Structure formats: structure tokens, C-alpha cells
């Protein structure tokens, strides 16, 4: 019986010693992993940021002018529908009855990043600033923007039918 008791104590001490040793080994390993993981995470984040940033694509074709007109009762883009080729651009010109803006709606997901990259000084995504002053212009390149239909409206006058459509071929 006494022999068994000593054996149990010795066994218990051995377990304590082992646990202590394991904990030290674990914490050393964890520290090593953390150190190794930190630069890897930074590299991954940088790569992701670079990959998701779409560069603005320049105008390589013609620029079509669209007037923004309001007379107090009628508000419109003129012409309201324009067909262009990829690489062309639209130049919106503030004529009267502002503030007007250009806010794209229902833009296909595949086109959002490039169209957004091509729109300077957005007030929010895919939305131009408000244009208040006659002859103020806003130019958007459709360089690298996929072929498709792009609907937009003027936010202050959307309810009055101030909307437009650009078809990129």
C-alpha cells in the first residue's frame, strides 16, 4: 500500500512536471507562430488592397456632350439616350436649373469597379458631385467599361423624370 501511494505521488509529480514542460513548449511555439504570421498577414493585406484597386482608364475615343437642363417645370438630360463605344467619354454640361448630378443606378456588378474608378470626385459610389454653376462640366471615361446599358438619373430631379441611359458597345 505504501509503495502504491508513493507511486501515485511520483506519478502526479511527473504529470505536473510534464504539463509545465508542455506549457512552456506551447507558449514558445505560439510566440514563434505569431512572429511568423505577422509579416505574412501584412503581405496578404497589401496584395489584396492592390488587387482590388481598379485604375482609372483613359479616354481613347470621342467625347459626347450631354446637357443638364431645368426650367422650373421640366428637367432633363439632353440627349437622354446616348450610344458610345468602349473608350469614349460622356461630358455632362450644366446648363440650367441645377443643382444636377449624375448617379448611376442598377449598374451591373461586373462594371462597377471600373466605372467607379473612371468617375472623378464622387460624392458617393457611382455618383458625381452636385453641379450648380452653368457651364460646369463632369467628364467620365468609359475606357475599359464593359459593353452594356448604364442607367443614371439626377438625384434632385429623379422624381421629375431627369434620367438618362448610356449604351456602351
Does residue 162 touch Cu ion according to CB under 5 A? Answer: yes
- Centre a 10 Å sphere on the Cβ of residue 163 and count the other Cβ atoms it contains: 18
Does residue 93 touch Cu ion according to CB under 5 A? Answer: no
Backbone angles phi, psi at 9, to 5 degrees: -60, -45
- Outline where DSSP puts E strands in 43-156: 63-70, 75-78, 81-84, 89-94, 103-105, 137-141, 148-153
What is the dihedral angle through the alpha carbons of 56, 58, 64, 66, rounded to the nearest 10 degrees?
A: 20
Does residue 66 touch Cu ion according to CB under 5 A? Answer: no
Of 76, 144, 153, 157, the residue at the interface with Cu ion (CB under 5 A) is: 157
Does residue 154 touch Cu ion according to CB under 5 A? Answer: yes
Does residue 102 touch Cu ion according to CB under 5 A? Answer: no
Of 76, 100, 153, 163, the residue at the interface with Cu ion (CB under 5 A) is: 100
Residue 119: CB minimum distance to Cu ion, A:
17
Q: Name the site residues for Cu ion (rule: CB under 5 A).
A: 100, 154, 156-157, 162
Amino acid at each position: 500500500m505504501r509503495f502504491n501511494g508513493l507511486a501515485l505521488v511520483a506519478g502526479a509529480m511527473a504529470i505536473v512536471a510534464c504539463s509545465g514542460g508542455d506549457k512552456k513548449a506551447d507558449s514558445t511555439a505560439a510566440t514563434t507562430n505569431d512572429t511568423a504570421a505577422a509579416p505574412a498577414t501584412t503581405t496578404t493585406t497589401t496584395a489584396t488592397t492592390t488587387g482590388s484597386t481598379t485604375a482609372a482608364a483613359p479616354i481613347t475615343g470621342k467625347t459626347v456632350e450631354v446637357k443638364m437642363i431645368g426650367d422650373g417645370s421640366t428637367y432633363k438630360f439632353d440627349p437622354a439616350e446616348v450610344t458610345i463605344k468602349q473608350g469614349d467619354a460622356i461630358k455632362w454640361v450644366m446648363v440650367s436649373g441645377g443643382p444636377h448630378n449624375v448617379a448611376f443606378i442598377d449598374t451591373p456588378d461586373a462594371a462597377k469597379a471600373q466605372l467607379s474608378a473612371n468617375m472623378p470626385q464622387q460624392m458617393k459610389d457611382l455618383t458625381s458631385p452636385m453641379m450648380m454653376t452653368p457651364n460646369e462640366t463632369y467628364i467620365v471615361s468609359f475606357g475599359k467599361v464593359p459593353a452594356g446599358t448604364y442607367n443614371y438619373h439626377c438625384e434632385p430631379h429623379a422624381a421629375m423624370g431627369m434620367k438618362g441611359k448610356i449604351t456602351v458597345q
